[in-house]
Amino acid sequence: MELERQDLIVKCAMMGLVGALIFSYLWVAAVLVDGNWIMGVETLSELGGDRRGSFLFNTGVITMGFAGLAFSSGLYLCLGSPLKGSGSIVLMVGSVALIGVGIFPITAGDPHTFFSYLFFGLMLFSLAMLVWPLSREPRIGSLGGAVTLGSIVVSLGFLFNSSVPMTEAVAVICLLIWSVTISSLILIRPSFRTCT
């Protein structure tokens, strides 16, 4: 039973890593196909509107949302208790909101706005809840805690000192770096093969 649990944790971490890489690829592909999107001037959501790269971008968003569901489930198992894993439950709900962002692109109006705000709010909240549990988890440790805290600090720094489009792009980049880091730590630390 424990081996099955550990195998599931590893598979879910792989989904977090692959999801972040697929989204990054499709984001860049959408920008290239679009040809007119400017980071920091336009929001990411505008790539998903009536533009040439919209299918690529929205597919990336939905894919990352489903990958995030798997990743957050594995993270919950890894952290080992409802109290420690509560941040991963919030992360799971945020992943559902991300799927909503992709299903309801910017042209959908209010539903898109709702899911966008819900996604970013829940991501920030979940990372804040996860800083301490991740830093105490042997397979993730202080590096994972530092990257989690850094993602929060950088995102909030841009929120209070930059435009909404730039803040959004930086927050997404921070989330991608965070997801890749935490997933990779779970996958590559052979000396910590069991989570608490």
What is the length of the chain? 196
Q: What is the mean pLDDT of residues 28-55?
A: 95
What was the pLDDT predicted at 112? 96
Q: Which amino acid is at 15?
A: M
Instruction: Quote the CA–CA distance of 92 and 69 in Å, as a whole number.
Output: 5
Domain map of the chain by residue range? 2-34+43-192
End-to-end CA gap in the chain: 15
**Which of these ranges, 37-46, 124-133, 139-148, 186-195, has the smallest mean pLDDT?**
186-195
pTM of the complete model beyond 0.85: yes
In the 3-class helix/strand/coil scheme, how is 84-111 assigned residue by residue? CCHHHHHHHHHHHHHHHHHHCCHHHCHH
**Which of these ranges, 21-35, 77-91, 94-108, 110-124, has the smallest mean pLDDT?**
77-91
Instruction: Quote the CA–CA distance of 46 and 51 in Å, as a whole number.
Output: 8
Contacts of 155 (CB under 8 A, 6+ apart): 124, 167, 170, 171, 174
